[in-house]
Amino acid sequence: MISAPILDTRFRLTETVALDLAKSYGTPLYVVDEKHFRERIRTYLTAFRAAYDRSEISFASKANSTLALVKIAYEEGCTIDVASEGELRIALAAGVPGNKCHLHGNNKQVEELQFALDNSIGHIVADSFDEIELLDGILSNEQRASTKIVLRLAPGVDPVTHAKISTGQADTKFGFNIADGSAERAAQRCLELGFNLYGFHCHVGSQLLDPEAQRSGGELIAKFAVDMKDKHGYIAQYLNVGGGLGVAYTSGDQPMGMHEYCRLVVQAVNTALEGTGIDPILGQEPGRSLTAESGVTLYRVGVIKTVPSKALGQRTYVAVDGGLSDNPRPALYGSKYTVERVAPETQSSDELKNMTVSGKHCETDKLFDETPLPADLKVGDLIQVLCTGAYNSSMASNYNRYPRPATALLRLDGSHSLIQRRDSWDEMLAREILPEDLA
């Protein structure tokens, strides 16, 4: 029906399953396929191991921190990348030991660091000189020796992606700039303070369809590690080249395969390290590429309206029962998606017509602009949006006081489990406080 990428690896629901899920849990509904998610992780692990022996993959839990998915990622052999105390609490609740997590953040709070230390965090990725001094103030002698510190570096590469998810360039709030000497000063300061400096990290951006920036980020942090050995005799035990591998939101997106990608990045690192005696564990922390394509969002069509349009002559709006609050990505990043009808009320025709899918929020709330849908789409039909397993559930809000959707997990045996329930009305009111004089 809709033209697909050459090798369409994205999970999609069949009509029978979609109808069953909608009946069981209502819509809008996030759905994640367990088999697909496990296979994505296995492929990535295999690809990385094949390219580099001493490799380690951390699941960037910000992409989807639903408890069950974090648990599955850990079960499959990933450590967990957390970017806040909240994400760390989720990982711990999923049964992941603190020493199998590492903590990111450009402005970590004392309480956040203390909580991580109390839970024997695997390593802390330090992001600023202020954080180094903060750590100096709170690390006990024992923690100073045992806590691994990794420095996040800004390698100064500009990736080809949306400006809002680009982080590797020099003008970034993240990490220590290599070119201006900050990274070297940070490393020296850690050594001077007796920190257990474990190695270096960079993450240059997200949804990268062109991997050149990651290749060059890997090369630059490896070269930096060599420089630190030559100048200060410091030998890095760990290098992490971040996440960022892109996925196929639409048929136009052609991300690089995991095997090819791992080979490319590893080659850049290996070339820089050759003959230097530095033999680090090499880490990656993918989020989107592990979980995005394993998930879909199921909506029910509520209103279909055709209006005059200056640009198009006529525009057909299809209003679904979700929107900006369950998928802010079109509004934030201009993201495009593949939208398909899954369960027609009546027999479907093959004829397609461009329609604009909008949400039910009190603003323009255009989700998917002029996207091909069956010409006989009807109120009550179910539509699925592919590739919503990353940065949808984790970025959902309660705007307009809509309950955030539930997430269902399709199990390996064909059954399904609710892994996150819809917000309840009680929950929504639970945070509200009416001062006595207003009561």
Which residue, 289 or 356, has its beta carbon nearer to ligand LLP?
Answer: 289
Backbone angles phi, psi at 372, to 5 degrees: -70, 130
**Residues forming the site for ligand LLP (CB under 6 A):** 60, 63, 81, 104, 165, 203, 206-207, 242-244, 285-289, 329, 333, 391, 395
Shortest separation between residue 241's beta carbon and ligand LLP, angstroms: 10
Give 156 or 242: the residue with its C-beta nearer to ligand LLP: 242
Peptide bond into 28 cis (omega under 30): yes
As measured in angstroms, the least distance from the Cβ of 167 to ligand LLP is: 6
Contact 71, 96 (CB under 8 A): yes
**Which residues have CB under 8 Å from 349's CB, separation 6+?**
374, 375, 376
Cβ atoms 34, 409 nearer than 8 A: yes
* Phi, psi (deg, nearest 5) at residue 173: -80, -10
Whether 262 is catalytic is: no
- Pick 84 or 196: Cβ nearer ligand LLP: 84
State how far the Cα of 67 lies from the Cα of 417, in Å rounded to an integer.
13
* 288 or 360: CB nearest ligand LLP: 288
Residue with tokens 């934030």: 332
Give the tokens for residue 91: 């990982």
How many Å apart are CA 271 and CA 265, to the nearest integer? 10
Cα separation, 127 vs 176, in Å, equals 7
Question: Least distance from C-beta 375 to ligand LLP, angstroms?
Answer: 31
Contact 156, 220 (CB under 8 A): yes
- Closest approach, Cβ 157 to ligand LLP, in A, equals 15
Our CB check for ligand LLP shows the closer of 166 and 348 to be: 166
Beta bridge partners of residue 300, listed in sequence order: 382
**Counting beta carbons within 10 angstroms of the beta carbon of residue 274, is it exposed (0 to 12), middle (13 to 18) or buried (19 or more)?**
exposed
Nearest residue to ligand LLP, by Cβ distance, number only: 243
In the set 101, 190, 362, 387, the catalytic residue is: 362
Nearest to ligand LLP of 104, 360 (CB atom): 104
Q: How far apart are CA 149 and CA 397, in angstroms?
A: 33
- Contact partners, residue 158, CB within 8 Å, separation at least 6: 166, 168, 169, 213
Shortest spacing between CB 162 and ligand LLP, in angstroms: 7
Return the number of the residue (63 or 226) whose C-beta is nearest ligand LLP.
63
At its nearest, how many Å lie between ligand LLP and the CB of residue 296?
16
Closest separation in Å from C-beta 407 to ligand LLP: 17
Give 163-210 as a DSSP string: GGGB--SSS-SSSEESTTSHHHHHHHHHHHTT-EEEEEE---BSSBSS
The sign one gets for the Cα dihedral 278, 213, 293, 319 is positive
Give the catalytic positions in this structure: 362
